[in-house]
């Protein structure tokens, strides 16, 4: 079923189709029945500045950059999903640049004054017109409050929300088309992935949420002097404007400056890794955008953390399941490994369990018996997610995001100290978490609600059983069962039956017209019969053409 185009959105559809087709992805649009949106004449971007043809992965990156903010964010999130895309695409999408030319200052000033409800120099004593940084969703300006505090002001680009919502609607249309028209769309829950992406980008557009994220990190690390979180100035913060303390320091990837400042890079690597492991295993709330520009280093070493728009969250049950998965891997118990994967939501209707177990055996056997110093956590996570893609497992976004975050942090730490090993930092936290999970106090805390549930079940079960047997005796007992995979086939059968009925009706029209033509004699009613025959001919022609078109389109799909 084709999406319904509103006049406002149709132009954006055409732009998206044109850019994708120019980069060689027109065949995907044709598969989805959107080939009519592709211009008939277009030039293919075939050769890059390096003098060789672009690869398919490079074409995808270039197309997403050309499509703008929403698609750049989509590509960045897809770069965290080795379970969905091959390695060459992951590597290329990781290069996506979120730096674009800044908006003209008068537009930024107008938005800022509307949001704050006051003039720019009523709110700030000084305000830098040149931004410190400019991204697809917003840009950051230096400023100073009337109290003398130096701050940074993050301002959302005017009109970006409307563009994002239009692009999300287009992505949802395409996801639904792919789910109904293609095999690969039926394997993965594409509408679910779009919904998760929509939630992520909408949260990034809500600066109130980002401010609350920063305060949550500040609370979690109140007794951890190695991490510095900027103070939020709520008086000058709205949904589209965020004012926070300005932090100073050396960028974490400026190794020469770190050495000149006398900062021990080996110690810094361990401190940074300890921070992320605490976020994941102890707090269940972690910073999910760990590129070097978000870390400033001061003597101590103290790490200043920037940009709280993208975060990940893990429930206590998820952290417990991850720990049990880790223990099952150590024991090389494949049945328990598969059970833990299912518990974490890693499931799919196309999974071949025997093949999955064999693949996991090979993966774990590759690292089994090695010293901790030789195990690369990032590589293990990446290989695990690639195995998930091969077996069509549906990895929850939060776990894919965790894997990418841990891998990036390990890479950052090894840039500081080539001998760094994340497992050495991870192991003590894992032991501590295991002790906490299996302590008598935790068992008691979890046992009390279970006992309440069992008691309620024991009280209500006889009454429910009596109602069930009474319904069975009266012949009123029914069982409702829903098989998601069957809905697609039922829909196909419905379409086939509808086309068969249309074909029969068309044939009946033609036969009826032939009989009427043969029996029509010159009489006063002849003119009326002529009109009826003409209308019948038109109706049968329209039905026949519709049927032929539907059959032709289904053959191409």
- pLDDT tens track for 225-240: 999 999 999 999 999 9
Q: Could you give the CA distance from residue 197 to residue 168 in angstroms, rounded to a whole number?
A: 9
> Tokens 């969905």 sit at which residue?
84
Q: Residue 267 has what pLDDT?
A: 92
3-state SS, one letter per residue, for 476-532: CCCCCCCCHHHHHHHHHHHHHHHHHHHHHHHHHHHHHHHHHHHHCCCCCCHHHHHHH
pLDDT in tens, the chain (557 residues): 455 555 567 788 888 888 888 888 777 777 666 666 666 555 555 555 555 677 888 888 888 888 888 888 888 888 877 767 788 888 888 887 666 788 999 999 999 999 999 999 999 999 999 999 888 889 999 999 999 999 999 999 998 998 899 899 888 888 888 877 776 666 677 888 888 889 888 989 999 999 999 999 999 999 889 999 999 999 999 999 999 999 999 999 899 999 999 999 999 999 998 898 889 888 889 998 888 888 999 988 999 999 898 898 888 888 877 777 776 766 667 777 777 777 776 655 556 667 777 777 777 777 666 665 566 666 666 677 667 767 767 777 777 788 778 878 888 888 898 888 777 777 777 777 677 666 676 666 666 667 777 777 778 778 777 777 877 777 776 776 665 555 556 666 766 776 676 667 666 666 666 665 665 555 555 555 566 666 766 776 776 677 666 665 554 44
Residue 156 has a pLDDT of 94
Q: Count CA atoms closer than 13 A to 428's CA, side-chain side.
A: 8
* pLDDT for the residue 146: 94
Q: Are 211 and 203 in contact (CB under 8 A)?
A: no
> If 0-12 CB within 10 Å is exposed, 13-18 middle and 19+ buried, where does residue 409 land?
buried
Active-site option among 83, 167, 289, 307: 289
Q: Helix 422-437 and helix 377-390: axis angle, to 10°? A: 70
pLDDT at 514: 65
What number of helices (H) and strands (E) belong to the chain? Answer: 22, 11
pLDDT of residue 112: 94
- Cis-peptide into 146, omega within 30 deg: no
Say what the pLDDT of residue 556 is. Answer: 42
Indicate the SS3 state at residue 207.
helix
Q: If you search the block for the tokens 């939060």, which residue do you land on?
A: 398
Examine the residue annotation and report whether 283 is marked as an active-site residue of this protein. no
CB atoms near residue 472 (< 10 Å): 10
- Encode 506-519: b = buried (16+ Cβ within 10 Å), e = exposed: beebbeebeeeeee
CA distance 330 to 521: 92
Backbone angles phi, psi at 287, to 5 degrees: -75, 120
With beta carbons less than 8 A apart as the criterion, state whether 359 and 388 touch: no
The pLDDT, as a whole number, for residue 557 is 44
CA distances from 281 to 277, 286, 407 (A): 6, 9, 15
Q: Which residue's entry shows tokens 């077996």?
A: 391
Model pTM?
Answer: 0.71
pLDDT in tens, 72-84: 888 888 887 776 7
Q: How much is the CA Rg of the chain, to the nearest whole Å?
A: 30
Return all residues near 202 (Cβ < 8 A) that are at least 6 apart: 164
């Amino acid at each position: 079923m084709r999406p319904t185009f509103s006049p406002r959105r149709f132009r954006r559809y055409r732009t998206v189709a044109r850019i994708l087709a120019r980069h060689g992805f027109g065949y995907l649009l044709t598969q989805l029945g959107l080939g009519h949106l592709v211009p008939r004449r277009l030039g293919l971007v075939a050769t890059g500045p390096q003098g060789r043809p672009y690869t398919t992965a490079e074409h995808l990156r270039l197309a997403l950059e050309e499509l703008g903010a929403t698609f750049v964010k989509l590509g960045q999130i897809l770069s965290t999903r080795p379970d969905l895309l091959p390695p060459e695409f992951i590597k290329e999408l990781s290069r996506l640049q979120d730096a674009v030319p800044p908006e003209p200052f008068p537009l930024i000033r107008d938005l800022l004054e509307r949001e704050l409800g006051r003039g720019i120099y009523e709110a700030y004593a000084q305000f830098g017109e040149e931004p410190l940084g400019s991204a697809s969703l917003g840009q950051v300006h230096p400023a100073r409050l009337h109290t003398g505090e130096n701050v940074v002001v993050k301002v959302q680009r005017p009109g970006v929300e409307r563009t994002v919502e239009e692009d999300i609607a287009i992505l949802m249309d395409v996801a639904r088309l792919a789910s109904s028209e293609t095999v690969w769309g039926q394997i993965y829950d594409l509408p679910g992935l779009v919904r998760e992406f929509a939630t992520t980008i909408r949260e990034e557009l809500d600066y109130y949420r980002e401010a609350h994220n920063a305060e949550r990190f500040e609370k979690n690390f109140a007794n951890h002097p190695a991490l510095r979180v900027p103070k939020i100035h709520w008086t000058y913060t709205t949904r589209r404007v965020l004012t926070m303390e300005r932090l100073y320091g050396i960028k974490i990837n400026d190794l020469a400056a770190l050495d000149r400042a006398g900062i021990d890079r080996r110690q810094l690597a361990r401190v940074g890794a300890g921070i992320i492991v605490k976020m994941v295993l102890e707090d269940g709330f972690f910073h999910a955008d760990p590129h070097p520009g978000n870390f400033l280093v001061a003597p101590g070493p103290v790490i200043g953390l920037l940009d709280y728009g993208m975060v990940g969250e893990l429930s206590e049950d998820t952290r417990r399941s991850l720990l049990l998965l880790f223990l099952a891997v150590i024991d090389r118990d494949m049945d328990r490994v598969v059970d833990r994967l299912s518990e974490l939501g890693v499931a799919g209707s196309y999974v071949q369990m025997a093949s999955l177990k064999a693949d996991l055996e090979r993966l774990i056997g590759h690292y089994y018996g090695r010293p901790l110093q030789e195990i690369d956590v990032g590589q293990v996570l990446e290989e695990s997610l690639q195995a998930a893609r091969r077996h069509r497992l549906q990895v929850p976004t939060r776990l894919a995001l965790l894997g990418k975050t841990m891998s990036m942090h390990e890479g950052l730490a090894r840039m500081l100290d080539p001998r760094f090993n994340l497992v050495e930092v991870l192991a003590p936290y894992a032991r501590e978490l295991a002790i906490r999970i299996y302590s008598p106090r935790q068992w008691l805390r979890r046992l009390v609600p279970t006992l309440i549930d069992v008691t309620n079940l024991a009280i209500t079960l006889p009454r429910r059983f009596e109602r069930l047997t009474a319904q069975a005796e009266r012949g009123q007992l029914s069982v409702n069962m829903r098989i998601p995979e069957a809905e697609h086939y039922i829909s196909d059968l419905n379409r086939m039956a509808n086309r068969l009925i249309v074909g029969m009706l068309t044939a009946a029209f033609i036969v009826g017209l032939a009989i009427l033509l043969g029996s029509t004699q010159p009489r006063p009613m002849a003119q009326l019969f002529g009109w009826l025959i003409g209308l019948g001919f038109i109706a049968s022609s329209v039905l026949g053409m519709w049927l032929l078109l539907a059959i032709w389109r289904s053959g191409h799909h």
